[in-house]
Amino acid sequence: MEQSMRKKNNNQINIVLNHRKKISLPAAENKTVISNETAIKHEMLQRIEEEMGKLVGMDDIKKIIKEIYAWIYVNKKRQEKGLKSEKQVLHMLFKGNPGTGKTTVARMIGKLLFEMNILSKGHLVEAERADLVGEYIGHTAQKTRDLIKKAMGGILFIDEAYSLARGGEKDFGKEAIDTLVKHMEDKQHGFVLILAGYSREMNHFLSLNPGLQSRFPFIIEFADYSVNQLLEIGKRMYEEREYQLSKEAEWKFRDHLHAVKYSSQITSFSNGRYVRNIVEKSIRTQAMRLLQEDAYDKNDLIGISSMDLMLEEETHST
């Protein structure tokens, strides 16, 4: 396996893995040969890949996580051989609509970096504008510093980060951004900062803050799920809860997802979050139905019928 790194504009790093090339070196003492033929078991990577396998879609994101692992792993091997190795700055930008798995992936990255001894704790601290922005001069900087302190050794995940720039020059959000930037540099190896939000708003946010984007080596796009992927997410949610959709319910669910996803009346579709709401509501509806019937066996307790999917009302209110 050969790893190469290309530097993009603004010092962003694009890591490329090439699994086809075989590296053949002369046998010599104290030399490590990494190739396709070498049967090396990366148990840590296998565990992460197993977790990633539970996620629907996200093929590009899964590859990026594996690239991060490869980059860190090979850098450590270079250190062991006395070669130059880059200090890993791992701050990230996540762009995408709600419900596309941004928080889930952030937790997964935290776990990976903890297991690789890059982060001392690997925990995730979630925050939004209200958690950073204060009410008077100096309050914002203190709130932001307190959050960073809480996130040390782990990941500080700020959702809807673009909202920090919505108030103009006099808004305290700018103070929060300045404080974050300072600590990103001063403590760049003590924690990982992830700024997340809608793609369009994040792009505008970055355009208002020249130089900010270059501080994030990893920019990850989270695509919306397809109808089939959304249905698969729903089915897995039912399975985790020990429920099962009937065939009629599955078709009804699919048709509804297609109608909602491509409806011109819906300006914001929350992907997996929307599916989860449907799953949870249908389980409550099934419980009410069984309560009224007052006669049921194990299959009845497991089954979700088309009657339990109350979807028409949701289509108009989403």
> For residue range 47-92, what is the model confidence (pLDDT) as tens digits?
888 888 888 999 999 999 999 999 888 988 898 888 988 778 899 9
* pLDDT, mean over the chain: 83
Domain ends where: 222, 241, 261?
Answer: 222
Asked if 127 and 157 sit in the same domain, the reply is: yes
Instruction: Return the CATH number at 241.
Output: 1.10.8.60
pLDDT at 87: 77
Instruction: Return the CATH number at 62.
Output: 3.40.50.300
Asked if 62 and 95 sit in the same domain, the reply is: yes
Is residue 37's pLDDT more than 50?
no
Asked if 205 and 254 sit in the same domain, the reply is: no
Q: Is 210 within the bounds of a domain? A: yes
Asked if 217 and 235 sit in the same domain, the reply is: no
Contact of 274 with 237, CB cutoff 8 Å:
no
Is residue 267's pLDDT more than 70?
no
Q: Is 9 within the bounds of a domain? A: no
Q: Is 149 within the bounds of a domain? A: yes
Assign 2 to helix, strand or coil.
strand
Is residue 220's pLDDT more than 60?
yes
Asked if 278 and 207 sit in the same domain, the reply is: no
**pLDDT tier at 169, thresholds 50, 70, 90:** low
pLDDT at 174: 83
Mean of the pLDDT values across residues 25-29?
Answer: 46
Asked if 56 and 107 sit in the same domain, the reply is: yes
Read off the pLDDT of residues 93-151 as tens digits, 9 standing for 90 and up. 999 999 999 999 999 999 999 998 999 999 999 999 999 998 887 889 999 999 999 99
Question: 94 lies in which domain range?
Answer: 43-222
Asked if 215 and 240 sit in the same domain, the reply is: no
Domain ends where: 173, 198, 222?
Answer: 222
